[in-house]
Amino acid sequence: MPEDSVPLAAPAIAAVAEAAAPRREGRGRLLWTVLKYALLTLGALAMLLPFLDMVLGALRTPAERLARPPVYWPRDPQWGNFVRIYDQLPLLRWTANSLGVTLAITTLQCLTSAMAGYALAKFRFPGSLSIFRFAVGAQMFPFFIFLIPWFFILRYFPLAGGNDWTGTGGTGFLGSYAALVLPFAVSWYGIFLMRQFFLGVPDELLDAARIDGAGEFFIFFRIALPLVGSGLATLAIFVFLYHWNEVLWTLTVTRTAPDLQTLPVGIYLLRGPFEQEGTKSLQQAAVVVSILPVIIVFLLLQRYYVASVTSGSVKG
């Protein structure tokens, strides 16, 4: 795909171009190089040190925390804390919830974005431009305007969760996983992105299939979709990471449904049990453990993630 190869190839081209450029003054060049690396290093330290601080905090003993003056480097690292919290907190349940909900959202969003993006990219029909403009404009609507209405729409949804057809009598979708997934079934950004990718699929391929008598759905699933596979993958990873970390809506809906709580929400509600200074090492251990899976996944898939972040912005 031209769009996502540009960011990756460009630095290489730039390096070559720079090597071919006329030599600048030796002294000035050294200064720039030093500044460059100093800036990058300082920045990288600022990015990474807070994580290290958290890990160190997880390793302190209660005595070290309560000591005056406070101890920084743990002399008796409590590696056991990382294991101990699994007993104290339902981390596995939270993780399972996060996994289930995020996978469901990712699947739904990929499906709806692909279908809508395909329709908008490959068909000419009245209203397609308006719908596209709507999708672009909808991204400008900030999240908080939906917060209160979604709550009540899900609560009074007819024929759900014990509600009758007027939407009263039960609890609607609240208190079930549906409440966590449904409001995120469609992503306007996803539609925008998939349309972009589908535009790169040659029409001739699709027309040839039509001439051969294939049905439209067959064409979509068997021909068009595989061609944007990598694009879909980048969207999927982007959506997955974004919704794994979603807190506000999940918090609102699962406050009194602890069985449904996801990992970030569980961590957020951790304040209560860990108010005492001495127990805060466990709290820090819990936070570290909660972000580890995401970090590992991210490290493995970062090329795709980077591509997904950058592909939406630079116009090819």
Partner 1 sequence: MRRSPVLSSWVNSQKVVPWLFLSPVIVFALVFFVLPVGFAAYVSLTTWDSLTPPRWVGLKNYQYLFATDPLFLKTLRQTLTFAAGTLAIGVPLALLIAMAFSRVPYKGAWRVAYTLPMVTNIVAVGFIFWFVFRQTDGLLNRVLGLFGLPGPGWLTDPSLAMLSSILVYVWMELGRNMLLFAAGLGSIEEGYAEAARLDGASEWQVFRHVTLPLLRPTLLFVVITGFISGMSYFTLMLVLFPGTQGGPSRAALTTGQYMYQMAFEDLRMGRASAVAYVLFALVLAASLVQLRLLRRGGVEA
Partner 2 sequence: MTRRLTGLLGACSALGLMASDAGAQEARTIQVATHYTEEQAAPLLACFDAYEAEHPGVTVEHQQTAYGDFLQTILTSRVGGTAPDIYNVYSVWVPQLAAAGVLEPPPADVAEFIAEGYSPATVGAATIGGQLWGIPTELSIYALVYNRKLLEEAGYSEPPKTWAELREIAQKITRTNDQGNIDVGGYAYGTSVAEGVHPFYAQMFAAGVPPFAEDGRSTNLTSPEAIQILSDQAALFADGITSNAIVVDNFASNAVAMQISANWNKQGWQEAFGDQFADTVGIAPIPTDGPGGTMLYSFLWAVDATSDAKEESWDLLRFLNTPREGGLSCTGEMMQGMGSLAGNSADLELMTANADEFDRAYVEEVTSGRAVTQPNIWQAAEADRILRGYIDQAWAGTMTAEEALTQADAEIQAVLDEQP
Residues 79-98 that bind partner 1 (CB under 8 A): none
Q: 263 with 95: CB under 8 angstroms?
A: yes
Given partner 1, partner 2, none, residue 79, with its beta carbon under 5 to 8 Å by kind, binds none
- By CB under 8 A, residue 170 contacts partner 2: yes
Per CB under 8 A, the list member of 31, 247, 273, 276 interacting with partner 1 is: 247
- The yes or no reply on residue 57 touching partner 2 (CB under 8 A) is no
- Out of partner 2, partner 1, none, what residue 177 binds, judged by CB under 5 to 8 A for its kind, is partner 2
Name the nearest CA neighbour of 110 among 242, 231, 249. Answer: 231
CB of 107 to partner 2, least distance (A): 8
User: For residue 6, how many other CB atoms are within 10 A of its CB?
Assistant: 15
Which of 61, 95, 252, 310 is close enough to bind partner 2 by CB under 8 A?
252
Residue 191 contacts partner 1 per CB under 8 A? yes
Subset of residues 223 to 242 that bind partner 1, contact rule: CB under 8 A: 241
By CB under 8 A, tell whether 266 contacts partner 2.
no
Of 6-14, 45-53, 213-221, 299-307, the segment contacting partner 2 by CB under 8 A is: 213-221
With CB under 5 to 8 Å by kind, the binding choice for 36 among partner 1, partner 2, none is partner 1
Instruction: Write the interaction track for partner 1 spanning residues 21-50; mark x where CB under 8 A is met and - where it is not.
Output: xx------------xxx-xx--xx-xxxxx
Which residue, 9 or 83, has its beta carbon nearer to partner 1? 9
To which residue do tokens 């990756």 refer?
8
When binding is defined by CB under 8 A, the residue of 165, 217, 313, 315 that contacts partner 2 is 217
**Distance between CA 177 and CA 215 in Å, rounded?**
35
The interface partner of residue 176, options being partner 2, partner 1, none and the CB cut-off 5 to 8 Å by kind, is partner 2
Minimum CB separation of residue 155 from partner 2 in Å reads 6
Choose one: 80-88, 163-171, 226-234, 304-312; the region binding partner 1 (CB under 8 A).
304-312
**Site for partner 2 contains 33 (CB under 8 A):** no
Q: Which residues of this protein are in contact with partner 2, per CB under 8 A? A: 65-69, 88, 108, 111, 151, 155, 159-162, 170-179, 181-182, 217, 220-221, 252-253, 255-258, 269, 271-273, 275-278
